[in-house]
Amino acid sequence: MSQTDHLSNNTASSTLTIIQPDDWHLHLRDGDGLMAIAPFTARQCGRAIIMPNLSPPITTTLQANDYQKRILSATQQYPKFKPLMTLYLTDNTPPDEIDQAIKSGLVFAVKLYPAGATTNSEAGVTDLKKCYPTLERMQKLGLPLLVHGEVTHANTDIFDREKIFIEQRLIKLTQDFPELKIVFEHITTADAVDFVTESSSFIAATITAHHLLMNRNDMLVGGIKPHHYCLPVLKRETHREALITAVTSGNKKFFMGTDSAPHSQKNKENSCGCAGMFTAFAAIELYAEAFDQVDSLESLEQFSSLNGALFYGLKVNSDKITLQRKKWTVPTSYPFGDDNIIPLRSGQTINWTLLS
């Protein structure tokens, strides 16, 4: 299963064949936007965990069922693609909803957004205690909790929100629910890497390509870059290095989750611009670039295609994909409903090309 078996080392033209990846954290939106962006992920991933932060959010299995149908219709061109649905946890999600979710066979996790933490999180959880009976049921039935791990107090520095979430929320949560499967989503700090590494096997984490490739200078130096603004916000270089060490360590707790979060150009290039980067159009290519930068391509497959399936208790994909170390230029924009969307690396190059 090692990629080195497949990596031809003739420098510039080398190719890499790996088991088809899965995206364990993806925003697909709805309506025309969904139709425009879902095929990008379906083309390269076997499955994706679909975030429920629509407006209004997906809080019931019934809504998840309808949303899944809309996603399947947007990805008809790639009939093997499986959208794995999630529910948005609120203060009032009843434990019985968890039974429904499990019974449906289409819901694979429940997402915790602390109220006010990020895009469409107004209906999120105000006090985790209110959710304890529901978390109890999830622990019992083995349904993972996916956590947006940032505190939201106005007086907490935005660069410290993840670290303080660990100290004030996550430690207690893992003590109160020692056998609840938790994915600490899109981690961005050395503190989160350490927490996950030192926790039990019930705790894992996703890491985005953009947090592996960029630090906060990429957002703020030489002019503010709204397309590099996301939540959790990019951090300093030492944190990026800790993330790189985590994904190339061979530790099974870390897996691919792009957090590709498209917003229209006008909502990004705005005096109050939305958080989120659009990376799904070249997800695996961007990760390949990050691993290649530190000569660790042999670790990519485990991170992108094995660890997530293992944590969720699913089989790995049976198909393979092949990447080539060949530069291509990213379009300056892609259509997005009535508007357009500016992809990461708009008009610039990516070093890897997905061949099939």
Enumerate binding residues for Zn ion (CB under 5 A): 259
**How many Å from the N-terminal Cα to the C-terminal Cα in the chain?**
19
Measured from the CB atom, is 259 or 285 closer to Zn ion?
A: 259
259 classed as catalytic: yes
User: Least distance to ligand NCD from the beta carbon of 216, Å?
Assistant: 14
In angstroms, the CA 278 to CA 208 distance is 11
Closest CA to 264 of 340, 330, 344, 338: 340
230 binds, among ligand NCD, Zn ion, none (CB under 5 to 8 A by kind): ligand NCD
Element (H, E) at 240: helix 237-247
Closest CA to 327 of 356, 292, 285: 285
Alpha helix stretches (DSSP H) within 25-114: 31-44, 61-74, 95-104
User: Least distance to Zn ion from the beta carbon of 51, Å?
Assistant: 5
275 binds, among ligand NCD, Zn ion, none (CB under 5 to 8 A by kind): ligand NCD
User: Least distance to Zn ion from the beta carbon of 27, Å?
Assistant: 6
User: Least distance to Zn ion from the beta carbon of 287, Å?
Assistant: 16
Measured from the CB atom, is 150 or 259 closer to Zn ion?
A: 259
Q: Token pair of 35, please? A: 């139709």
Q: What are phi and psi of 281, to 5 degrees?
A: -65, -20
Burial of 209 (0-12, 13-18, 19+ CB in 10 A): buried
Residues that bind ligand NCD (CB under 6 A): 27, 53, 118-119, 148, 230-231, 259, 261, 275-276
86 binds, among Zn ion, ligand NCD, none (CB under 5 to 8 A by kind): none
53 binds, among ligand NCD, Zn ion, none (CB under 5 to 8 A by kind): ligand NCD
Measured from the CB atom, is 87 or 230 closer to ligand NCD?
A: 230
3-state class (DSSP) for residue 233 = coil
Buried b / exposed e along 211-223 (16+ C-beta atoms within 10 A): bbbbbbeebeeee
Residues 22, 23, 191, 259: which is the catalytic one? 259
In angstroms, the CA 47 to CA 30 distance is 18
Question: How do beta strands 15-19 and 320-324 pair?
Answer: antiparallel
276 binds, among ligand NCD, Zn ion, none (CB under 5 to 8 A by kind): ligand NCD
* Positions marked catalytic: 259
